Structure 1
Amino acid sequence: MPLVTTKEMFQKAYAGGYAVGAFNVNNMEIVQGITEAAKEVNAPMILQVSKGARAYANHTYLVKLVEAAVIECPNIPIALHLDHGPDFETCKSCIDGGFTSVMIDASSKPFEENIEITKKVVEYAHDHGVVVEAELGTLAGIEDDVKVAAHAASYTRPEEVEEFVSKTGCDSLAIAIGTSHGAYKFTADQCTRNEKGVLVPPPLRFDVLEEVSKRLPGFPIVLHGSSSVPQDYVKMINENGGKMPDAVGIPEEQLRKAASMSVCKINIDSDLRLAMTGTIRQFFNEHPDKFDPREYLKPARANIKEMVKHKLINVLGCDGKA
């Protein structure tokens, strides 16, 4: 099947109490690992590209990689999504260039300006058969080209969501309930430590999610900054020359709870980076004589695939939903 929008995906996810994974892609091995996992467990898939990914890999290369994945996975619905589009021009470029979904992130702007910018993108996108994600509230953390003053988060205000969605016409809404970008989502002061001395992050604000859901019944909600930062890969990195003290993510059981509610799309990026980097660091440490990229990228791709399979089945609950 050709690339699809997220419209039908989200309708089914909302009704079925699961979420669709939105995984950031930057190169061939990441695309392959993600889509091979989706194919094995028969899950719908969102492959998303950030401004930074387009700058790194080139828009055309990324689109063609995703188109190749569509050919290799003919029975899997795949949407190509722009993550954190910073302005109308970037969104327009992606809409004109083959994307089926775009996010306009004007959440740092005043409320009325956010509405104005989002509405402009929505009008252009809908005229071209493309759907739009918008954002209210601000996530903390730093990742890729999404840069917010560290931990300067502001939760979404539920009393604003009805007016925002009504005036913009957006198709889904990213909200801030305590998730955060990057592998260092929280400071040590924001966390507690369990009996093993591992940092435990503050819980997500499900009260905000529930109130938003009441005000927007049936409307798909999105969570950004939702990597869980698997400690096995953090340990692998640290044991092989890395330095990632106190890297901590969102507990998977909280993400599963969100997916059972109105959250239809959960973004995952840092976990993919950790799997790839940890695997490659370990490979070089164990095989200092090796220099063929295929030899270290192959196990990195395999570990991305296994991680994504775990997310699709145990966190998102979208296995078998293609």
Structure 2
Amino acid sequence: MPSSHLVQVSRLGFGCGGLSGIWNAPVPHEAGCLLIKRAFEKGITFFDTSDAYGHDHDNEIMIGKALKDLPREQIQLATKFGFAVEEGQVAIKGTPEHVRKCCEGSLKRLGIDYIDLYYQHRVDTTVPIEDTVGELKKLVEEGKIKYIGLSEASIDTIKRAHAIHPITAVQMEYSLWTREIEDELIPLCRELGIGIVAYSPLGHGFFGGKAIVESLPVESLLNTHPRFTGENLEKNKVIYQKVVDLAAKHGCTAPQLALAWVLHQGDDVIPIPGTRKAENLENNIGSVAIKLSQDEMREICEAVTMNEVSGEREFEMLAKYSWRYADTPPR
């Protein structure tokens, strides 16, 4: 992410959320810490978590344990705030008071003095973004966070937020089967000098064969994800096979090709695949070495067109579970 207000991170990040359930069964803290340490030893220094991952902030607590055995100055740690439980339902909350409360809680759970990149996980449309970012700006001035990020934000929100304080990164779902951000959001971020962090760059493991060659865990929320169920899944299996065939031509695995495609979108695009398995971690890291020409990139895009993808993406699915939902990012 080359810019004066952007944190320098490893070419590939690590999404930690999957270690604490939702999409997979949670792993014991000891196993999760070992995987995080292994990722660091392999050159990954950018780790992404949230106060919403896992029961009772489990993910941040796990990451905090792992950090105790790693050199803090070599780690770029991102976490997020923005959810709250009100009246027994999930709400999006972006008040200045909530921002500060969440930051203090994350610092304590993680056992650190500062957060490298602090995201608003979802944008609360009932609170002016100027108020939310204004409080984040104060946290930067106090040294509690270094950089500010937004996740799943609209074009208008990004512009307004950036006018209050430089936004370092916008985190969006981006992969071969989720490309809505290409038309407007990526060009805007490049115009403003904002990095793009691509979450779910393997389509929640779809391009690794999840639900195709590997069954879904019973407790996984993917069992209700539109793209992983029923007729949609049957249609999407055709896309998966196309990627498998293309990967064979390149002498790599399907997830490596899918990640390489994201990596080739630009040095300002940082994918953060997550995994619970050491072998998948090694496989993901191998994607960084894959080189694709413009013609090869075009061939991949033509093989996986957006009008072939069947089912809604994650944002639309999870929005149905929220009481007061958020911004309207690209669709």
What TM-score does the superposition give when structure 1 sets the normalisation length?
0.55
Shift of 1:46: 2.0
- CA gap of 1:310–1:31, structure 2 versus 1, over 3 A, is farther
User: Match of 1:135?
Assistant: 150
* 1:12-23 equivalences in 2 (<5 Å): 12=8, 19-23=11-15
Shift of 1:123: 1.0
Deviations 1:103-146 (A, max 9, x none): 22342425x612211221231243124224332645xxxxxxxx
User: Match of 1:100?
Assistant: 115
Shift of 1:307: 3.6
2: CA distance between counterparts of 1:19 and 1:7? 15
- CA gap of 1:66–1:53, structure 2 versus 1, over 3 A, is farther
2: CA distance between counterparts of 1:137 and 1:162? 13
Output the amino acid matched with 2:121: D
User: Match of 2:139?
Assistant: 124
User: Match of 2:305?
Assistant: none
* 1:261-300 equivalences in 2 (<5 Å): 261-263=267-269, 265-269=270-274, 272=275, 276=276
- CA gap of 1:313–1:61, structure 2 versus 1, over 3 A, is same
Corresponding residue to 1:174 among 170, 173, 181: 170
2: CA distance between counterparts of 1:206 and 1:64? 37
What TM-score does the superposition give when structure 2 sets the normalisation length?
0.54
Q: CA RMSD in A?
A: 4.1
* 1:220-239 equivalences in 2 (<5 Å): 220-228=195-203, 229=205, 230-238=207-215
> Contact (CA 8 Å) 1:226, 1:268: kept in 2 or not?
yes
1: CA distance between counterparts of 2:279 and 2:263? 21
> Contact (CA 8 Å) 2:80, 2:119: kept in 1 or not?
yes
* 1:104-253 equivalences in 2 (<5 Å): 104-109=120-125, 113-135=128-150, 137-138=152-153, 156-157=154-155, 161-167=158-164, 169-174=165-170, 176=172, 179=174, 201=177, 203-217=179-193, 219-228=194-203, 229=205, 230-238=207-215, 245=229, 246=233, 251-253=258-260
Output the amino acid matched with 1:48: T
> Contact (CA 8 Å) 1:54, 1:62: kept in 2 or not?
no
> Contact (CA 8 Å) 1:104, 1:132: kept in 2 or not?
no
Deviations 1:131-174 (A, max 9, x none): 24332645xxxxxxxxxxxxxxxxx32x653432121x254231
SS of 2:125's equivalent in the other structure is coil
User: Does 1:256 pair with 2:263?
Assistant: yes
User: Match of 1:79?
Assistant: 76
Shift of 1:39: 1.5
User: Does 1:310 pair with 2:325?
Assistant: no
> Contact (CA 8 Å) 1:174, 1:224: kept in 2 or not?
no
> Contact (CA 8 Å) 1:224, 1:266: kept in 2 or not?
yes
- CA gap of 1:240–1:94, structure 2 versus 1, over 3 A, is closer
> Contact (CA 8 Å) 1:179, 1:226: kept in 2 or not?
yes
- CA gap of 1:165–1:124, structure 2 versus 1, over 3 A, is same
Shift of 1:81: 2.3
- CA gap of 1:304–1:8, structure 2 versus 1, over 3 A, is farther
Percent identity, aligned pairs only? 8
SS of 2:77's equivalent in the other structure is strand
> Contact (CA 8 Å) 2:6, 2:169: kept in 1 or not?
no
Gaps of 5+ in 1: 1-5, 139-155, 181-199, 277-300, 316-322
Deviations 1:232-255 (A, max 9, x none): 343343399997542789943541
Give aligned pairs, total.
Answer: 229
